[in-house]
Amino acid sequence: MKEKIITILFFLIIVASSFYFGFHRLENFSGVDESLWSYGRVPQFWSAIKKMKWKSTTLCDKPGITLAAISGIGLLWVNEDPEHLGQLRYTPKTSQQLQALNNLYFSLRLPVFLFALAMLGVFYLLIKRLLGMHIARASIIFIGLSPVILGISLMINTDAILWSLLPLTLLSFLIYQKENNRKFLYLGGFLLGLALVDKYIANILFPFFFGLIFLKYISDDEAHRAEDYFKKSFADYGLLILVCAATIFVFFPAAWVKPKTLLDVTIFSKAFYGTWRAFFTLVILAAADIYLLKSWLLGTLCDWIKTHRKWLFRTVYAIALFLIAFVLLNTYSGMKIFDFQSVFSFQTFELANINLRFGEPLVIMLSSFFPLIFSLIPAVAFLFIFAVVRSGMSRMKKNESTHVFYLLLFILFYYLGSAVSGVSPTVRYQIVLYPLVSIIAAVGLSHLLYMKSLKKYLSPAHSFFIILLMLFAASIFSLKSIQPFYLSYASDLLPKKYVLNLRDMGDGSWEAAQYLNSLPDAKNLKVWSDKGGVCEAFVGTCSDSLKQSNLKTEFDYFVITAGREAKSVYMGNKRAAELNNSIKIDNLYLEANPYVFRLDIDGRSGNFVKVIKADTLL
């Protein structure tokens, strides 16, 4: 009973802290791409449900159903028509209309945020089942108080839901494998279905779970009879898919009138584009061996690998440590090999020296740990690397080492998928990995405290609680230092001259708009911004368009940001090249231009938001 009370108090403190830092940000923020959901997709989904127009619940290719369902709860407290409010985006607004816009966003963001906080409880229960109470408690601190996880949880964005659903699906499957308990297989299938109707990238779990079937056979010290093991595991894998498909069918009404939607969400989605045939071929060949040859081929191959498994494990750890070391070496040497920032900005791979020297997939793979390592608070980053090193040296308990390996393997598999797809895994694009890294770091903390060299001086049972308090304080300090720009957090390990998240989601737009609103006669001003979020929160006339007709318009002020410079210059100059008297977009970003307002996100001059008066342009 005492432990339960401590756990409940511990959990409430984490949730309350996250709520404290996030609640104010729900209203005072202008994000990127949120307008697509707030004015269109979320209301469209619930309108289609109300009118029983099931086909209209298809919102986009993501497909975003889970997000729309959760966020749409907030529509109960919205009195204005969202579509009508969307028409105000670029036009002059009254104070009442601005407040109506703020209320809309607050109402739609709050359910998403509350869902994220609720998922922390699910994380605790599953991690405790898999790795024990101490590791679960440390993990919840790292997950619940992660600046970037908090930042994405405050937005109307599919990643605000996916960051929890995808890792929870993986944890459920790992518990099923550990305990041979089908309850967690059903839970994994249910969570996977919810993840898939949120964002198609969750399809990556299908091949990974398929691979885990063989990896468990190889990694287990216990001997298995190949025929029995693979037949049962293959049947359970099929059961997982059936539960997942049933979940998709229930929660995606478009599938009721168009069953092919199930395929569009799974094997015909972008995640499987170009690879589903190869994956299906592997599954069919495996099934043929299992049911026709009684697992003779798979058993023989896996038994051989099992005798040499240490080399398999060492190879995976070596690749991970090499990639981490490469990121640290290149960063601290002044990025002499190539600039990570160019890989994760809008100008990705347009720099010829990167293409010629390495090639796109390899560049992505070599760069992938850059956003991850430096967006962790320093203590978590250290514990993560420590855990990988110690697990790679086989110095951990079997259960801990096995699951560190599985989680690390998924991280590498995710990066490989990004590299093959040509998509640079920015902070937001790899947000699903942060809970997994947090768990690995928590394992590292547990192992560190139980090392013989430290047990001489510290009692693990007592010191664990003290260390957790210190890590809690460090996490709170990190949140306070970056408040309210949580998604743009970069630890002090990253030199100040570098920017981690150049593809930000709108940090600074609301603040720039508030400055413009404070100007005399603001309602009659004309502003051009490279981010639409500024226009949304500005009372006057505003444009974010790069079309030729708008480039000839006379503006009073310009709002420019570091994150959009590459894209705006490239697209703007391309469209305005032959126009007379047009504003050359690259002139806006000249460093010598005087500005009337400047905000450096996270104190980094390379991550700026500037307001420039038109008549002072050079």
> In which band, very low, low, confident or very high, does the pLDDT at 586 lie, cut at 50, 70 and 90?
confident
Residue 594 lies in a domain: yes
Residue 162 lies in a domain: yes
Where does a domain end: 425, 454, 488?
488
Taking the C-alpha atoms of residue 212 and residue 49, their distance in angstroms, rounded to an integer, is: 38
* Domain around 592: 509-616
Whether the CB-CB separation of 610 and 592 falls below 8 Å is answered with no
Residue 504 lies in a domain: no
pLDDT tens-digit map of 393-438: 887 888 899 999 999 999 999 999 999 888 889 999 999 999 999 9
Whether the CB-CB separation of 59 and 44 falls below 8 Å is answered with yes
Whether the CB-CB separation of 233 and 213 falls below 8 Å is answered with yes
One domain, residues 583 and 440: no
One domain, residues 478 and 520: no
Is the pLDDT at 351 greater than 50? The verdict is: no
Whether the CB-CB separation of 299 and 226 falls below 8 Å is answered with yes
Pick from 346-360, 401-415, 501-515, 588-602: least confident: 346-360
Is the pLDDT at 16 greater than 80? The verdict is: yes
Pick from 49-58, 355-364, 367-376, 432-441: least confident: 355-364
Residue 73 lies in a domain: no
One domain, residues 424 and 552: no
One domain, residues 418 and 536: no
Whether the CB-CB separation of 186 and 243 falls below 8 Å is answered with yes
pLDDT at 457: 61
> In which band, very low, low, confident or very high, does the pLDDT at 451 lie, cut at 50, 70 and 90?
low
pLDDT at 549: 56
Whether the CB-CB separation of 213 and 289 falls below 8 Å is answered with no
Whether the CB-CB separation of 515 and 611 falls below 8 Å is answered with yes
> In which band, very low, low, confident or very high, does the pLDDT at 455 lie, cut at 50, 70 and 90?
low
Pick from 292-301, 451-460, 486-495, 563-572: least confident: 451-460
Question: Burial level of 524, CB count in 10 A (0-12/13-18/19+)?
Answer: exposed
Distances (CA, A) of 285 to 289, 292, 295, 404, 531: 6, 10, 11, 30, 50
pLDDT tens-digit map of 178-229: 999 999 999 999 999 999 999 999 999 999 999 999 999 999 888 888 999 9
Q: Which SS3 state, helix, strand or coil, does residue 428 take?
A: coil
Pick from 21-25, 57-61, 325-329, 461-465: least confident: 461-465
pLDDT at 404: 96
Point out which residues pair with 599 in neighbouring strands: 609
Dihedral sign (CA 83, 84, 87, 88): negative
pLDDT tens-digit map of 495-551: 999 999 888 888 999 999 999 999 999 999 999 999 989 999 999 999 888 775 566
Which of 374, 398, 399 is closest to 324 using CA atoms? 374
Q: Which SS3 state, helix, strand or coil, does residue 170 take?
A: helix
Kindly report each contact of residues 3-12 with a partner whose C-beta sits within 8 Å and lies 24 or more positions away, as own/partner: 3/133, 7/124, 7/133, 7/137, 10/137, 10/140, 11/120, 11/121, 11/124, 11/140
Is the pLDDT at 352 greater than 50? The verdict is: no
Pick from 250-254, 281-285, 582-586: least confident: 582-586
Where does a domain end: 453, 488, 523?
488
Is the pLDDT at 358 greater than 70? The verdict is: no
Residue 35 lies in a domain: no
pLDDT at 560: 93
One domain, residues 339 and 376: yes
One domain, residues 470 and 608: no
pLDDT tens-digit map of 151-186: 999 999 999 999 999 999 999 999 999 999 999 999
Residue 13 lies in a domain: no
One domain, residues 477 and 414: yes
One domain, residues 448 and 521: no
Percent of the chain with pLDDT over 70: 93
pLDDT tens-digit map of 20-42: 999 999 999 998 889 999 999 99
Residue 42 lies in a domain: no
One domain, residues 580 and 477: no
| Amino acid of residue 34 | E
The residue with tokens 């199930």 is 262
Q: Which SS3 state, helix, strand or coil, does residue 375 take?
A: coil
Measure the CA angle with vertex 349, ends 344 and 350; round to 5°: 120
pLDDT at 440: 97
One domain, residues 411 and 546: no
One domain, residues 479 and 559: no
- Estimate to the nearest angstrom the gap between the alpha carbon of 20 and the chain centroid: 22
Where does a domain end: 459, 488, 517?
488
One domain, residues 476 and 527: no
Question: Burial level of 2, CB count in 10 A (0-12/13-18/19+)?
Answer: exposed
Tally of domains in the chain: 2
Show Cβ contacts of residue 504 under 8 Å, excluding neighbours closer than 6 positions: 32, 487, 488, 561, 563, 601, 607
pLDDT at 443: 96
Distances (CA, A) of 338 to 348, 349, 373, 604: 12, 11, 18, 20
Residue 476 lies in a domain: yes
Query: Which is more confident, 573 or 211?
Result: 211
Pick from 55-64, 79-88, 340-349, 560-569: least confident: 340-349
